[in-house]
Structure 1
Amino acid sequence: MNEFFNDPSHRGGFDAMYYWDQFHPIFAAIVILLVGWIIALVIAAGVKRLLQKLDTNHKLSSATGRTPNIENLVSKLVFWFVMILAVVGSLNVLNISGVSDPFSNMVGRVLAYIPNLFAAVAVGFIGWIVARLVRAGLTNVLSRTELDEKLSSEVGVNALSSNIAEIFYWLVLLLFLPIVLSILGLTGLLIPVQNMVNEAIAYLPNLFIAGVIIFVGYILAKIVRGIVEGLSNSLGLQTQAEKVGLFKNSNVSKFLGSFVFAIIVITALIVAFEALGIQAISQPATAMLNEIMYAIPQIIAAGLILIVAYIVSRFVGRLVAELISGAGIDEIPMKLDLQRFLGQTRVSDIIGYLIVFFTMLFAISEAANRLGLEQVSVLIAMFIQFGASILLGAVILVIGFWLANVVAKVVQRGEYNSSRWLAN
């Protein structure tokens, strides 16, 4: 056979070796592509199955809150990477260097980058494990302290332990992120992320101080509230308040304790915001707290004015009513024929009510002045003047009725029938 092909007399016929030399690179390239395609399918399927056994999608969704199909993505990337290797091999067999060289350079860079990629994945995985351990440990520790139950029952705050654990979870991931970016050589992303991490780390002491301030303020508020409630109960403020008609459906000691508790907690929060450097919240909150602290003595003084005025006015009203009743003034309306306008009400009772009413009006006016409510004070002063005018008018009407009755009796004493008619 070889002699046939090598015989010069047959070279003018079918030259099999010539055509074999021309077409066997094409056949080899096709075979390489087919084998590469099969290998790519096998490797991609193996990678996908491995990721499915590791439950990658579920773990990433629980960590990020999303549902990415990372298994399909990685398997497709592996498939096309192997196919690119097969294409490069086919192009090299065909000796098409103009096309194969760029692919070869790309594959070389990818292969050189793979160790960094695996190292970054390993570091990221370690960071993820550490973050999960930190989150689980903090959740376990904080749940044993019953912090959530205390905060929810005392100040109505929802589960705080899970939020704190979640914050530290993402903080640990953030600490590992610059390392991953540095391994991958992503300097464009590394610098801003590194600056952000440095700022976060520098902010941690302030965050710790703020947490300590809030915790100490909360404990102090509970202690002071207990002292105030105990002192209020020992002084019998509930009984005294009920005697004057206050806090009949509520507990005065709990009210005072809750008020003091809220003031201390708000103060602790403002100090914590100042420690965090959040001026946008701390400055207006501080101004508000200063106004509240300035208003508290005025509110207490106004309340004492109202309470004392009410107690004194009721005592004076009863005393004056008894004196008037003992002096026989309750019989004057009957003598003046005015009892039909009063019904069963006595003059002494009316005078006692008026004493309480006008005393409370003066007390409210003074309390409004204490609180800086000048418009309310002016309005009450106008009402007092109007009430005085009404009383003066009532006195004039009573005198008028009395004079009318006197004149009527004088006229009735006449002997003529016309006199009686005029009297009526």
Structure 2
Amino acid sequence: MDYQAFVTPLQNSLGSHIPQIIGAVIIFAVGWLIAVIARAATLRVLRMLGVNRRIEESTGSKVDAEHPVAIGVFWLIILGAVIAALNALDLASLSNPFSMLLSDILGYLPHLLAGLVLTLIAWLIATVLRAAVTRALQMTKMDDKLSSAAGMAPMSRNVGNVLFWLVMLLFLPAILGAFRLGGTLGPVQVMMTQALDMVPNIFAAALIAFVGYVVAKVLRGLVTNLLSAAGVDRLSQRFAGGAADVDATTPTATTTTTAAPPPPDSGSGVSLSRLAGTLVFILVLVPSLIAALDALRIEAISRPATLMLGKMLDAVPNIIAAVVIVLITWYVARFVATLLARLLESVGADTIPQRIGMGDAMSGNTRPSRLAHWAVMLFAMLFAVVEAADQLGFYQVRDVVTGFIRFGGDIILGGLILVIGYWLANMAYNAISRASGENTAGLASIARIAILGVVIAMGLRAMGIANEIVQLAFGLTLGAVAVAIALSFGLGGRESAGKLTEYWLNRWRRNRPDSPPDQP
């Protein structure tokens, strides 16, 4: 194949352009070398300035800004070298778009530099203010106290960071304007306008909240100290030691108790003065916080909070009335219960269980005076709880306690019936035994069992426990006894029953001390 036909025209056409090609290559090579040198120099300068480190200190996150800037400088010089090489080759159609791009970039450089300068100025101002505020707060003891009390990082660092970003936010519209970022600048300006409009409201809310906190704290200390000086804290000790009042009385027939000295105040009880101070603090601080929210014009939060506060304030009189009812009832009931217990002891009520044969079951803490004391306290407090629940609107609690009171009254009535029945059963047993002698001990036991059965049925009936079962059992028992008697005396066994009855009557007559002697 003959290559001369192809090579000869190519040499003829390129011969005149070889100097231009060599010049373009040299221009591009020199531009590439300059771009590499500029990239290295830019990266070195940025590292010497510590741009990445300073950005990390300001933002708290690692951001590599050095390499992107160096790469941008590199490609900017490469773009200029490409345009120069294309112009050397007389390729205007290819170099014009790149020339326009380079002119746009170079035309934007002043705005870029202005934006960077404003960013640097804002960063310097924010950094200086953050350092000054942080140092000022660290010099005071308030930072350490808040950190130790709240268990969190020092507040000086957080306040400094907030101030830093606030300054950067204030400079943000100017920075965006310098960068000619109009699409982003509009929303930012609107946001800054709204934020600046809220600054007076924020200061007003902060001032209201601070004043409310100070007033609430002062009132808490005042109320706590006044109530403590008035001796209100001793009420908690009386609540704890009120149960021992009945035990510290005169000796009874079964037990001997000695009044123990009251325990010293260990600080473990409820401090009523501190509790009242805390309630006053809450009642003052909560309206202050709601007023602060109103100053912020945040109705989505302030309106529900206002409604909640209104309900709380409306409930305060009822709560106070309920507390007063319970406290007054406690003291009055304790006084009456103690007086009743001592009265029962003085009249010898504690010796009654010994007389009726229930000394083992009703002694010590279950003696009559003690039971009467606790019964009075229990029912008085239950009535107080019913009234307090009605004041507070807890109607379900009121109904439950009312039912419990009714049931308790039935239990007490049934218990009294059982005690009286037991006493009557023992009295009947003793009377039959003394009147008939030892030969009729079985009859006395039958009488006692019968009385106890009737009394137990009456007691359970009074208590309201299984009324149908009690009625059925009692009816079946009486019916069985009646049927047995009818069968024994009415059918076929009349002669034997008559003889047995005659035998029992003769024995009873002989055992009577005033019976006449048997006739011969």
C-alpha spacing 1:415/1:268, structure 2 compared with 1 (3 Å):
closer
Q: Which residue of 2 aligns with 1:340?
A: 360
C-alpha spacing 1:214/1:141, structure 2 compared with 1 (3 Å):
farther
C-alpha spacing 1:77/1:232, structure 2 compared with 1 (3 Å):
same
Instruction: Note the residue ranges of structure 1 that are not aligned, 5 or more in a row.
Output: 1-12
Give, in angstroms, the shift of residue 268 of structure 1: 2.0
Is 1:33 aligned to 2:28, yes or no?
Answer: yes
Within 1, Cα distance between the matches of 2:216 and 2:276?
A: 12
Is 1:299 aligned to 2:294, yes or no?
Answer: no
Match of 1:387 among 403, 408, 412: 408
Pick which of 389-398 and 181-190 moved more: 181-190
Q: Within 5 Å, which residues of 2 pair with 1:171-250?
A: 171-245=166-240, 248-250=268-270
C-alpha spacing 1:57/1:248, structure 2 compared with 1 (3 Å):
closer
Q: Within 5 Å, which residues of 2 pair with 1:3-402?
A: 21-144=16-139, 146-149=141-144, 151=146, 159-245=154-240, 248-344=268-364, 345-402=366-423
Partner SS for 2:46 = helix
Contact residue 244 and residue 311 of structure 1 kept, 8 A: no
Give, in angstroms, the shift of residue 347 of structure 1: 0.8
**Identity %, equivalent residues:** 37
Within 2, Cα distance between the matches of 1:69 and 1:316?
A: 84
Contact residue 24 and residue 85 of structure 2 kept, 8 A: yes
Q: What whole-Å deviation, never above 9, does each CA across 1:54-82 have from its counterpart, x for those lacking one?
A: 11011112222321211111000100000
Contact residue 242 and residue 248 of structure 1 kept, 8 A: no
Q: Which residue of 2 aligns with 1:7?
A: none
Within 2, Cα distance between the matches of 1:379 and 1:400?
A: 31
Contact residue 151 and residue 158 of structure 1 kept, 8 A: no
Pick which of 243-252 and 401-410 moved more: 243-252
Counterpart code for 1:299: I
TM-score by length of 2: 0.74
C-alpha spacing 1:46/1:103, structure 2 compared with 1 (3 Å):
same
C-alpha spacing 1:184/1:171, structure 2 compared with 1 (3 Å):
same
Give, in angstroms, the shift of residue 155 of structure 1: 7.2
Give, in angstroms, the shift of residue 145 of structure 1: 5.2
Give, in angstroms, the shift of residue 20 of structure 1: 5.8
Larger Rg: 2
Partner SS for 1:164 = helix
Within 1, Cα distance between the matches of 2:143 and 2:331?
A: 45
Contact residue 147 and residue 155 of structure 2 kept, 8 A: no
TM-score by length of 1: 0.90
C-alpha spacing 1:76/1:111, structure 2 compared with 1 (3 Å):
same
Number of residues of Structure 1 aligned to a counterpart in Structure 2: 411
Q: What whole-Å deviation, never above 9, does each CA across 1:111-136 have from its counterpart, x for those lacking one?
A: 11111111110011101111122222
Q: RMSD of the TM alignment (CA)? A: 2.4
Counterpart code for 2:20: P
Instruction: Note the residue ranges of structure 2 that are not aligned, 5 or more in a row.
Output: 1-7, 242-266, 446-520
Within 1, Cα distance between the matches of 2:136 and 2:215?
A: 23
Within 2, Cα distance between the matches of 1:135 and 1:147?
A: 17
Q: Which residue of 1 aligns with 2:431?
A: 410
Give, in angstroms, the shift of residue 142 of structure 1: 4.0
Q: Which residue of 1 aligns with 2:245?
A: none
Contact residue 236 and residue 271 of structure 2 kept, 8 A: no
Counterpart code for 2:338: R
Q: Which residue of 1 aligns with 2:261?
A: none
Counterpart code for 2:335: F
Partner SS for 2:361 = helix
